[in-house]
């Protein structure tokens, strides 16, 4: 090892493990899945692998969105930094919130700011509010970004478990007075990744009440907000008082098949949005104007999301039926493209599964079906309806084949 790499190893910040950075031999969940997938494909070169593990759409953005990017990319006026975003995108976000979610009277210059995907938006929020010792309440299982950055800043993360008994909503009454007092941020995410659960208006009202009583800022991660199966999509901001206590992060990634494009927006409380704009201004210089304009085209065409939603509804409905026919206890999701089911305890007369992870490894190795395990609260696996398939016939064939493979053994639950 050269002298320089020696001292660099000593310089890593404690938040990344200090001088032990990169030396952790633990293999993380998604790496394990990747390795198991590779090994299964090598062992069964002639068997089709079904990937229900991916968390992003299997199809491209719609033609009108792509065409807009092509045209706008050629215009010299779009070449430069956009800082905190172009006016057209802010205006389109405000119109979208009213048209899709019925949220009125948002000011495009005060209540909205674009972000380069919702992930960086979530990463920026703790920098605005968290001092060492402050608490962020995070639902688990879930998308951990806001918690990670809270810890980077010396803050503390308190987990709120999402249980089946409580319809995968956090039990806010279980938060102790001391924790509630030190909490500054509450992260919720509906429709939820990974549980597929959706929130009710009554729940959002309870959240507003909790926030006001305890002086907490609410961050509702709305990455899947428009992908709702049970009735009209609900925005947290449509509940009275919500704009006084928090923000929502909307993303074009999932609802418009635009994951790689990196375009999203934070909307809601003026001061929180101002904080995001301030931190963001010190991190990036805005998304390319041509992408924002393609985003405007998307936001003006919510019918695109409706078409995408119907595809996921069709796939998930069939998957629920198929899984239940072989003994699983699957219920149609309220939203997102995920289906969250309890892992079986084992196979009759055979192997036992002590966790979702063991079951997920079995599925990939023995049945060439890739899923994501979640063992934070109970032993579950997540199926994603984003498996690659062109049209309903192929979807049907794949789901039938998944069912056939699963029915080759008898699971015990």
Ligand X SMILES: Cc1ncc(COP(=O)(O)O)c(C=O)c1O
Judged by the rule CB under 6 A, the positions of this chain that interact with ligand X are 55, 117-119, 143, 189, 193, 221, 223, 251, 253, 259, 264
Q: Please, what is the minimum distance in Å from the beta carbon of residue 333 to ligand X?
A: 14
Nearer to ligand X, 258 or 406 (CB): 258
Q: Please, what is the minimum distance in Å from the beta carbon of residue 274 to ligand X?
A: 21
Q: Please, what is the minimum distance in Å from the beta carbon of residue 118 to ligand X?
A: 3
Nearer to ligand X, 263 or 364 (CB): 263
Nearer to ligand X, 141 or 275 (CB): 141
Q: Please, what is the minimum distance in Å from the beta carbon of residue 254 to ligand X?
A: 7
Nearer to ligand X, 193 or 360 (CB): 193
Nearest to 52 by CA among 196, 263, 256: 196
Q: Please, what is the minimum distance in Å from the beta carbon of residue 147 to ligand X?
A: 12
Q: Please, what is the minimum distance in Å from the beta carbon of residue 224 to ligand X?
A: 7
Print the SS3 string covering 12-59.
CCHHHCHHHCCCCCCCCHHHHHHHHHHHHHHHCCCCCCEECCCCCCCC
Nearer to ligand X, 185 or 406 (CB): 185
Q: Please, what is the minimum distance in Å from the beta carbon of residue 183 to ligand X?
A: 20
Nearer to ligand X, 189 or 379 (CB): 189
Nearer to ligand X, 248 or 395 (CB): 248
């Amino acid at each position: 090892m050269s002298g320089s790499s020696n001292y660099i190893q000593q310089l890593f910040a404690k938040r990344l493990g200090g001088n032990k950075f990169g030396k952790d031999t633990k293999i993380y969940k998604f790496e394990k899945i990747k390795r198991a997938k590779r090994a299964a494909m090598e062992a069964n070169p002639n068997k089709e692998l079904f990937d229900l593990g991916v968390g992003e759409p299997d199809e491209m953005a719609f033609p009108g969105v792509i065409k807009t990017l092509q045209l706008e990319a050629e215009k010299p006026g779009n070449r430069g930094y956009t800082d905190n975003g172009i006016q057209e995108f802010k205006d389109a976000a405000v119109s979208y919130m009213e048209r899709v979610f019925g949220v009125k009277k948002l000011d495009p210059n005060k209540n909205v700011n674009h972000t380069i995907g919702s992930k960086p938006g979530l990463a920026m929020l703790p920098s605005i509010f968290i001092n060492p010792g402050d608490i962020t309440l995070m639902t688990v299982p879930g998308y951990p970004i806001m918690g990670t950055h809270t810890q980077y800043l010396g803050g503390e993360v308190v987990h709120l478990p999402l249980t089946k008994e409580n319809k995968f909503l956090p039990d806010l009454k279980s938060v102790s007075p001391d924790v509630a007092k030190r909490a500054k941020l509450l992260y919720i995410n509906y429709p939820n990744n990974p549980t597929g659960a959706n929130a009710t208006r009554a729940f959002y009202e309870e959240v507003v009440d909790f926030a006001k009583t305890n002086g907490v800022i609410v961050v509702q991660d709305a990455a899947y907000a428009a992908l709702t199966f049970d009735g009209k999509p609900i925005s947290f901001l449509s509940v009275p008082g919500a704009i006084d206590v928090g923000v929502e992060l909307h993303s074009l990634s999932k609802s418009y098949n635009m994951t790689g494009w990196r375009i999203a927006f934070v909307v809601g409380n003026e001061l929180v949005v101002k904080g995001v704009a301030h931190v963001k201004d010190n991190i990036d210089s805005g998304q390319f104007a041509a992408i924002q304009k393609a985003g405007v085209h998307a936001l003006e065409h919510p019918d695109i999301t409706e078409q995408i939603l119907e595809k996921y509804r069709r796939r998930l409905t069939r998957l629920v039926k198929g899984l239940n026919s072989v003994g699983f206890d699957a219920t149609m999701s309220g939203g997102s493209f995920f289906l969250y089911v309890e892992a079986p305890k084992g196979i009759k007369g055979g192997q036992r599964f002590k966790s979702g992870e063991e079951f997920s490894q079995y599925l990939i190795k023995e049945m060439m079906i890739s899923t994501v395990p979640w063992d934070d609260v109970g032993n579950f696996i997540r199926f994603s309806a984003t498996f690659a398939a062109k049209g309903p016939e192929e979807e049907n064939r794949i789901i039938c084949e998944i069912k056939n493979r699963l029915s080759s053994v008898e699971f015990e639950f």
